[in-house]
Amino acid sequence: MPSSAKTPTINDVARLAGVSKKTVSRVINRSALLSDETRSRVEAVIAELGYVPNPQARALALRRNFLLGLIHDNPNAQTVLNFQEGVMGAIRDTEFALAVRPVDRHSPTMMDDIRRFLEQQRLYGVLILPPISENDALAQLCREMGCGYVRMGSAMLDDGDHMVASNDREMVTQAVDHLVELGHHRIALIEGPTGFRSALERREGFLAAMAAHGLPVPAAARAQGTYRFESGLTAAGTLLDAAERPTAIFASNDEMASGAFHAARQRDLRVPDDLSIIGFDDSPIAAHIWPPMTTVGWPVREMGRAAALKLIAPGTPEAQESRFLARLVKRQSVAPPKG
């Protein structure tokens, strides 16, 4: 047993536990590549010695900081926040911290800016949110720099070790099916912004479902949005002022759907009596608006947690998950059409 005046080191833990320093590191980082007996023995020695890992020394040895980066250019603040909460849940009680870096995907210097961020912070790995997660050149940059990365998206864009994805297209199809089953035939779409894979997946799911039911989607039944409330308000106003008003609207996110609620009220239309509305995300606004909104629940927190674990604990069962299934959350904003 080392002298009480001496600060215990990882070498002391390894010697007394009868394991290698690498095994001690795996215990500290909660690796799944250990037996329960070995883990318990090492943890007992750590507790007995009062050993506290030195993150600076370990970072120097690894030539990396115990720091994950979250890179995004996303107009939906709730998505960023939900993903971040998932990441924080995964790194809680570990040595890891999170650095959030917003970028401008339209900037000609975006790639150079991200390269400098990776170099200066010496990140252990990065988590990349859409739409920049859809940029294959960014994934290649991470590989070239030896920086671990995980991309989030609405479709599988990479192998399972580097991807967390949802089933957006399938779930929008289910949302349309729900409306059709209730008797809706004039269903309009508020699309997400150009350049977002999520907007593409949700639009294609909508169009496929309408085609499967033999329902037309004229130009007057589609309007472009930006994932912002104001764009949903404007887009829904255009749809509702059309010669043949829709009886239902699917909006590609909850924020735009909430704009559709306001557009309906401006025209003295009641939800869901005169107009049914479905959103996407299951953000807090969906449950708080009146009437509560039917929406597609996007498992963003679960995706954030799994993405972080793919970087810091790749052997754990949760880190093996790459496909996350959304679900249709039925509330009071949908009803059969009148007449």
Measured CA to CA, the distance from residue 289 to residue 258 in angstroms comes to 8
Whether 168-298 and 61-166+300-324 are alike in CATH topology: the answer is: yes
Question: Is residue 249 predicted with pLDDT exceeding 80?
Answer: yes
Report domain 10-53's class: mainly alpha
Among 3.40.50.1980, 1.10.8.60, 3.40.50.2300, 1.10.540.10, what is the CATH number of 61-166+300-324?
Answer: 3.40.50.2300
pLDDT above 90 covers what percent of the chain?
66
pLDDT band with cut points at 50, 70 and 90 for residue 60: very low
CA–CA distance, 128 with 149 (Å, rounded to integer): 7
Classify domain 168-298 at the CATH topology level. Answer: Rossmann fold (3.40.50)
Tell me the helix, strand and coil percentages in the chain, rounded to 5: 45, 15, 35
pLDDT 10s digits, 287-298: 999 999 999 998
Please choose, from the candidates 189, 253, 197, 198, the residue with its C-alpha nearest in 3D space to the C-alpha of residue 224: 189
pLDDT digits (tens, 9 = 90+) for 264-286: 999 999 999 999 999 999 988 99
What sign results for the dihedral spanned by CA atoms 321, 323, 326, 327?
Answer: negative
pLDDT of residue 56: 47
Extents of the domains making up the chain: 10-53, 61-166+300-324, 168-298
Judge whether 141 and 167 are in contact, CB under 8 Å: no
Average pLDDT in the chain:
90
Pairing of strands 294-297, 327-329: antiparallel
